[in-house]
Structure 1
């Protein structure tokens, strides 16, 4: 499903079709990307959730993790970082698992507008992409990483 259509479907509150990224992977896609999802947990002065308005540098981000088991780093096979990001978006919305069978943790909200993906390429270079309403856009490395527990991105207190 094209990225823009996926975002529109999500914005309308409709379920994103369950599609495994592996079904679309070519046999020659041998590059493995490690991806960490940083969830935007920005709130307003009265506690309202502002995370879905899009990421702005300096906003607080919480690294997705499996509660009690540490940070979640997803490994996907893709021809380039953009496709890796698409695969992680699907996994982060409850559709499938990574190369090692890791799926999105229960109790952590889905990946959405305002979140940032930290993508590490096989050569060690790291790229940060913010999820916007119609695309992924490159951003500088985030500087305000906060704990996931107790944030608006999880229902665990």
Structure 2
């Protein structure tokens, strides 16, 4: 006896490197992790992030989001490694893989802040900075402007 079974349609395609390059944009490539830092602006931010805490995205002075870029490598091989590299850049130790450094007029990345990581396969994860390591958290909903987190004394 035979039974009919449906099979999903399968498509095979050859993708050339030249075909994929224009769709990745000027800042990223197919094998990059991007990071956006959300600074915890709550007065009790150093005790960790809570979903009701307001967050402000780190931005350039013109208001555009500050996105750090890291190429997938043996050093940056998962979202936690990308978050760790973001923490290092956010504490002015080094630059990202495109030479971008952390602005002097924004406070350093610290415990209670949230890092949004977009992986090469387009998964997005939000990680809270803990005293040691990171904890996944839901996507923040209480976003505010960056006022108050810029260091005006360094200008």
The answer, yes or no, to whether TM exceeds 0.5 is yes
Aligned residue pair count: 120
After superposition, what is the alpha-carbon deviation per residue over 1:2-41, rounded to whole angstroms, capped at 9, x for unaligned?
A: xxxxxxxxxxxxxxxxxxxxxxxxxxxx831000000000
Return the TM-score normalized by structure 1.
Answer: 0.72
Structure 1 equivalent of residue 79 of structure 2: 81
Structure 1 partner of 2:118: 120
Shift of 1:69: 5.2
The structure number with the bigger radius of gyration is 2
Q: What is the CA–CA distance in structure 2 between the aligned matches of 1:156 and 1:120, rounded to whole Å? A: 30
Question: Is 2:31 aligned against 1:31?
Answer: yes
Q: Which residue of 2 aligns with 1:42?
A: 42
**Structure-2 residue corresponding to 1:95:** 93
Where does structure 1 differ by over 4 angstroms across 4 or more consecutive aligned residues? Answer: none
Structure 2: segments with no counterpart, 5+ residues: 1-29
Judge conservation of contact 2:54–2:144 (CA < 8 Å) in 1: yes
CA–CA separation in structure 2 for the residues paired with 1:138 and 1:72: 21
- SS of alignment partner, residue 46 of structure 2: helix
Match of 1:64 in 2: 58
Question: Unpaired segments of 5 or more residues in structure 1?
Answer: 1-29, 44-49
The alpha-carbon deviation at position 96 of structure 1 amounts to 1.1
Q: Is the 8 A contact 2:36 2:68 kept in 1?
A: yes
Aligned to 1:144: 142
Q: Secondary structure at the match of 2:121?
A: coil
Aligned residue for 1:88, secondary structure, equals helix
CA distance in 1, matches of 2:47, 2:81: 24
